[in-house]
């Protein structure tokens, strides 16, 4: 019965916790004890903010609903390099590209059925780009999965997989025709976002952060109907998700990055191979983290540590 309740809760809340899902009032990053020489602004969605318990504890009081955690990669880097960079972290769970560029966001916190967040609803937050200005030296931005609709794709794949007997590609058959348009939307909005960031911070180096490996190349590693992995999503659909959704998403981000001289792409996919949701030593959690924490396919602390290593290297290169 507990397993059934978890599945129902997952399906009921998955669209809200997006990847793919979690100042003055907004722009309060963890600040080093002494001011650093270079200003760094971290932008992004839940893959940047941390959001899930497996990525640490929420550290901001009062909470603003973005669910930034203390083991997310911006905070890890801040502890590592805080003497060099002064961090403002405005990443937010469920953020879209437009929420970074110019659309206000209403954070959801952890108001996920059947749980109620006592602080919900949260006030709307300004577009993340407003934290960027002429004095900004480095911008890191990890976003795109929510604009693609990766969360809803995962939920649909799980629902369709439940009636498939764990075989075939029911999700691919249902959704594949619409993926090119979703990817085109990501590319168009990402191009515009980078233009806006460059206009707001003309001297800044922009580091765009790709998404890590989520689905293994060998999907025989994945167990059917295991919510600590991909639940009822079929192996055929997992192959499709990797090849036709996730890898093209990273390629779209990398291609957009190439349109800006001030921007560089930070690849996380290669370094996270063999640490997927279905691997031993995973760096990305499945739908849940045992026994019953909703994780909805987000990086854990080890995944954020890996991201931190690569983003740190790119940040240090901006000093030369």
Tens digits of residue pLDDT in 120-161: 999 999 999 999 999 999 999 999 999 999 999 999 999 999
Tens digits of residue pLDDT in 187-203: 999 999 999 999 999 99
Q: Per mean pLDDT, which range of 10-19, 138-147, 287-296 is the poorest?
A: 10-19
Looking at per-residue confidence, does 16 or 284 come out higher?
284
Q: What percentage of residues in the chain have a pLDDT greater than 70?
A: 89
**Residue 108: its pLDDT value, please?**
95
> Region 14-41: what's the mean pLDDT?
51
**Residue 167: its pLDDT value, please?**
87
Q: What percentage of residues in the chain have a pLDDT greater than 90?
A: 83
Q: Is the pLDDT of residue 35 over 70?
A: no
HEC secondary structure over the chain: CHHHHHHHHHHHHCCCCCCCCCCCCCCCCCCCCCCCCEEEEEEECHHHHECCHHHCCECCCCCCCCCEECCCHHHHHHHHHCCCEEEEECCCCCCCHHHHHCCCECCCCCCCCCCCCCCCCCCCECCHHHHCCCCCCEEEEECCHHHHCHHHHHHHHHHHHHCCCCCCCHHHHHHHHHHHHHHHHHHHHHHHHHHHHHHHCCCCEEEEECCCCCCCCCHHHCCCCECCCCECCCHHHHHHHHHHHHHHHHHHHHHHHCCCCCEEEECCCHHHCCCCCCCCCCCECCCEECCCEECCCCECHHHHHHHHHHHHHHHHHCCC
**Residue 165: its pLDDT value, please?**
76
**Residue 5: its pLDDT value, please?**
32
Provide the pLDDT confidence category of residue 37 given band limits of 50, 70 and 90.
confident
pTM: 0.90
> Region 168-174: what's the mean pLDDT?
97
Tens digits of residue pLDDT in 89-98: 999 999 999 9
Provide the pLDDT confidence category of residue 262 given band limits of 50, 70 and 90.
very high
């Amino acid at each position: 019965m507990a397993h059934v309740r978890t599945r129902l809760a997952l399906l009921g809340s998955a669209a809200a916790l997006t990847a793919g899902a979690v100042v003055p009032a907004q722009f309060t990053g963890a600040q080093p004890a002494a001011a650093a020489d270079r200003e760094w602004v971290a932008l992004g969605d839940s893959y940047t903010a941390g959001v899930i318990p497996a990525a640490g504890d929420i550290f901001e009081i009062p909470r603003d609903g973005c669910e930034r955690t203390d083991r997310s990669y911006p905070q890890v880097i801040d502890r590592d390099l805080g003497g060099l960079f002064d961090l403002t972290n405005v990443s937010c769970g469920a953020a879209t590209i437009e929420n970074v560029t110019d659309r206000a966001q209403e954070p959801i916190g952890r108001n996920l059925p059947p749980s109620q967040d006592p602080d919900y609803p949260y006030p709307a937050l300004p577009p993340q780009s407003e934290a960027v200005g002429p004095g900004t030296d480095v911008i890191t931005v990890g976003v795109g999965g929510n604009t693609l609709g990766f969360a809803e794709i995962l939920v649909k794949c799980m629902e369709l997989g439940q009636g498939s007997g764990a075989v075939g590609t029911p999700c691919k058959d249902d959704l594949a025709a619409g993926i090119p348009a979703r990817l085109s939307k990501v590319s168009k909005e990402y191009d515009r976002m980078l233009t806006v960031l460059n206009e707001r911070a003309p001297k800044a180096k922009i580091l765009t952060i790709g998404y890590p490996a989520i689905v293994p190349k060998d999907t025989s590693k994945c167990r059917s109907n295991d919510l600590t992995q991909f639940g009822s999503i079929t192996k055929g659909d997992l192959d499709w998700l990797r090849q036709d959704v996730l890898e093209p998403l990273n390629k779209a981000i990398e291609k957009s990055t190439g349109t800006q001289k001030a921007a560089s792409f930070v690849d996380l996919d290669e370094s996270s191979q063999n640490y997927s949701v279905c691997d031993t030593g995973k760096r990305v959690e499945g739908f849940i983290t045992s026994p019953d924490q909703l994780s909805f396919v987000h990086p854990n602390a080890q995944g954020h540590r890996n991201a931190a290593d690569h983003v740190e290297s790119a940040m240090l290169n901006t000093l030369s």
